């Protein structure tokens, strides 16, 4: 049976993107997106903000780093990825979810509203713990 996994979110950029290079020289940009999935309860709006960590690679990472800023509305399409690593201090196994973006569409500022489609896939294999930004 075939498998399929796609994640699409639209929200606001939670902070300015952070660009870095892995030990192999691959460009990686990460940022967070806040998505308010609130609802009305007893005729009052209750916020329920969920935060998503997003990463992109290569030329897309370089471009999005200069065109996305904190507070900007953004749409992200990609795959959900589970990262695992060993904590250097405790030896405990840690894990976090992130969206590896294939398409990023910042919108809200006409001069910066251009869709970016991933032209490079995420590197194969495990990511070294020293390359993790947290």
Averaged confidence pLDDT in the chain: 84
Q: How confident is the model at residue 33 (pLDDT cuts 50, 70, 90)?
A: very high
Q: Is 92 helix (H, G, I), strand (E, B) or coil?
A: coil
**Residue range 89-126, pLDDT digits in tens:** 999 999 989 999 999 998 865 454 455 555 555 555 54
Q: CB 91: neighbour CB atoms within 10 A?
A: 7
CB 35 within 8 A of CB 49: yes
Answer CATH for 7-36+47-123 from 2.40.160.10, 3.10.450.50, 2.40.50.140, 1.10.10.60:
2.40.50.140
Domain range list for the chain:
7-36+47-123
List the one residue out of 7, 2, 3, 1 whose CA is nearest residue 102: 7
Predicted pLDDT at 116: 55
pLDDT above 60 for 21: yes
Place of tokens 């970016």: 116
Mean pLDDT value of segment 2-13: 93
Q: Please calculate the CA angle 96-92-51 and round it to the nearest 5 degrees.
A: 20
Q: How confident is the model at residue 68 (pLDDT cuts 50, 70, 90)?
A: very high
List the one residue out of 27, 14, 6, 4 whose CA is nearest residue 100: 6
- DSSP lists the bridge partners of residue 30 as 18, 55
pLDDT above 60 for 69: yes
Predicted pLDDT at 121: 54
């Amino acid at each position: 049976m075939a498998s399929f996994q796609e994640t699409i979110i639209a929200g606001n950029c939670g902070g300015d993107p952070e660009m870095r290079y892995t030990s192999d020289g691959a460009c990686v940009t990460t940022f967070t997106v806040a998505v308010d999935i609130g609802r009305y309860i007893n005729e009052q709006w209750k916020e329920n903000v969920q935060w998503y960590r997003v990463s992109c690679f290569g030329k897309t990472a370089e471009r999005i780093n200069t065109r996305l800023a904190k507070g900007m509305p953004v749409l992200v399409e990609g795959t959900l990825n589970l990262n695992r690593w060993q904590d250097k201090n405790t030896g405990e196994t840690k894990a976090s979810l992130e969206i590896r973006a294939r398409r990023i569409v910042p919108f809200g500022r006409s001069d910066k509203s251009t869709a970016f489609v991933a032209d490079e896939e995420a590197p194969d294999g495990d990511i070294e713990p020293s390359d993790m930004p947290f």
